[in-house]
Amino acid sequence: MTAEAILKTKGLTKRFGGLVAVNNIGFDVTAGEILGLIGPNGSGKSTVMQLIMGIHKPTAGEILLDGENVAGWPPHRVARRGVGIVFQHSRPLHRQTVLENIKLALLPDSLIKLAADPQVDKRAREIAERVGLGAVINRHPPTLAFADLRRIEMAKAIARDPKVVLVDEPFAGLAADEVKVFSDLIRDFRNDGRAVLLVDHNVKSVSALADRVFAMYLGERVTEGTAAEVMQDETVRRVYLGGKIETIQKDETQAADKPPLLQVRGVKVFYGKAQALDDVSIDVGEGQFISVVGLNGAGKTTLFNAISGLVPYQGEIRYAGEPLKGRTAGTIGRSGIVQCPETRELFTDMTVRENLDLGGYHMPRAESARQLAWMFELFPILNSRQNQRAGTLSGGEQQMLAIARALMMQPKLLILDEPTLGLAPVILEQLSKALEQLRQTTSITVLLGEQNVTFALPHADRVYVLEHSRIIWEGKPQQFAKEMGAGYL
């Protein structure tokens, strides 16, 4: 480091019971520098930010601000010491105007100084103009677009005049042109001489902004360096991609001329004012294996939830030629679309057998028994674990159980959402073999959402790349390896 760090962490550790969320993390951030903190879901990024801000107390380690250890301080003391945070979720006062929200951040927080500086109004208006809120300064937050709500958070951070700015997921829910605007605002923090710690799922946007990148996985440090160095690190690429990108040459006639089973056209999804999907269209042919790949936060789960009738959407989704809009999730499930969610949603206090029986409750007993026997053939470990409570299984065994329970429902279209998340390589190999057996021996259509492209590509007939709520590429797996492999991160 050529300059003394404003923010420094040493041996930062946080345990929640038996879970080690952050383990021995150390990094420096100097004035006028952006440090990007990246890693998949569950890596500990947000926990690190919350430890620095005082939202959680560290189990061990130091957090130094200009050399003073503030570890364990409450948030208001950390804020007074010069740390500001731009939260992922906007939290304005809805009954106050934009100008009043900014002015409130400018007011003194001392009980012995309650009067505002006479220049507060002028300063608030200057900040509003700087972040692009000048035209809506007299409006109330509920009437604003999502991007303007995020601008209020930026304005409040500027108003506190912090030495260190923590920016949490600034690009979530933003359109591509808005990402550019917010990137410029974050650069302004750096240009003002502030130290910036930036966390976001959009790895490309972080890499484009950050002077240095610190990569984490499962609470541990993976590597640190320039964006180019970190993105080429073997461990980072394995964590995000799953390893070397390989494809399997298939008989093209197997995937050709399949009648459409699922058609998604121009689908948009909003969570409040945040846009999670923007004009997404995909086609799934009967009997095909389609992979939708994308980093965490890209919108894969939202797409699958729209298909399954779990979230409202704009656009059109047709299944077997019939529109799905207006149908309940239960009706869609009974029609043959079965989703195995990322969170598995097992009944953890029930046995393996009981979970599977619930999946097959709709079938006659003899048919359910045949389906169950097939599940035990597909996942032999579940046979030996029949009487074990689902909550006591390993992560890999729980994932197998979740897929098996979905298959017990005899789906025509099986949706698998991030089935490899957090699993060991040996389990991934078992899942891969099971999916290939499914492909070779059944007519079930599979729609797979994955960050791990080395798992997603070998089975796929077609690949869609979802990035920042939009489909940015589609084609055959062999094309992905040539055209997208190097630039996926």
Domain boundaries, the chain: 5-241, 252-483
Question: With 60 as the cut, is the pLDDT of residue 116 above it?
Answer: no
User: Average model confidence (pLDDT) for the chain?
Assistant: 86
What is the distance between the alpha carbons of residues 60 and 407, in angstroms, rounded to a whole number?
A: 45
**Looking at residue 180, what is its pLDDT?**
82
Question: With 90 as the cut, is the pLDDT of residue 440 above it?
Answer: no
Question: With 50 as the cut, is the pLDDT of residue 452 above it?
Answer: yes
Q: Which residues contact 34 (CB under 8 A, 6 or more apart)?
A: 186, 187, 189, 190, 196, 198, 209, 210, 211, 212
Q: Please answer whether residues 67 and 24 qualify as being in contact, where contact means their C-beta atoms are separated by less than 8 angstroms.
A: no
Question: With 70 as the cut, is the pLDDT of residue 232 above it?
Answer: yes
**Looking at residue 273, what is its pLDDT?**
78
Interval 4-26 mean pLDDT:
90
Question: With 70 as the cut, is the pLDDT of residue 110 above it?
Answer: no
Interval 420-430 mean pLDDT:
73
Which has the closest alpha carbon to 172: 182, 164, 162? 182
Say which CATH architecture domain 252-483 belongs to: 3-Layer(aba) Sandwich (3.40)
What is the distance between the alpha carbons of residues 425 and 54, in angstroms, rounded to a whole number?
A: 36
Share of the chain above pLDDT 70, in %: 89
What is the distance between the alpha carbons of residues 439 and 215, in angstroms, rounded to a whole number?
A: 36
Burial of 19 (0-12, 13-18, 19+ CB in 10 A): exposed
CATH assignment, 5-241 = 3.40.50.300
What is the distance between the alpha carbons of residues 395 and 270, in angstroms, rounded to a whole number?
A: 31
**Looking at residue 146, what is its pLDDT?**
80
Interval 379-402 mean pLDDT:
88
Query: Which of the residue ranges 107-121, 324-338, 471-485 has the most confident prediction, judged by mean pLDDT?
Result: 324-338
**Looking at residue 111, what is its pLDDT?**
47
pLDDT digits (tens, 9 = 90+) for 270-311: 988 778 899 999 999 999 999 999 877 788 999 999 999 999
What is the distance between the alpha carbons of residues 454 and 214, in angstroms, rounded to a whole number?
A: 24
Q: What is the value of pTM for the model shown?
A: 0.65
Interval 347-371 mean pLDDT:
90
**Looking at residue 249, what is its pLDDT?**
54
Which has the closest alpha carbon to 196: 84, 45, 63, 34? 34
Neighbouring C-beta atoms of residue 139, cutoff 10 Å: 14
pLDDT digits (tens, 9 = 90+) for 159-171: 888 899 999 888 7
**5-241 with 252-483: one CATH topology?**
yes
Q: What is the band of 241 on the pLDDT scale with cuts at 50, 70, 90?
A: low
Interval 133-142 mean pLDDT:
90
Interval 79-96 mean pLDDT:
85
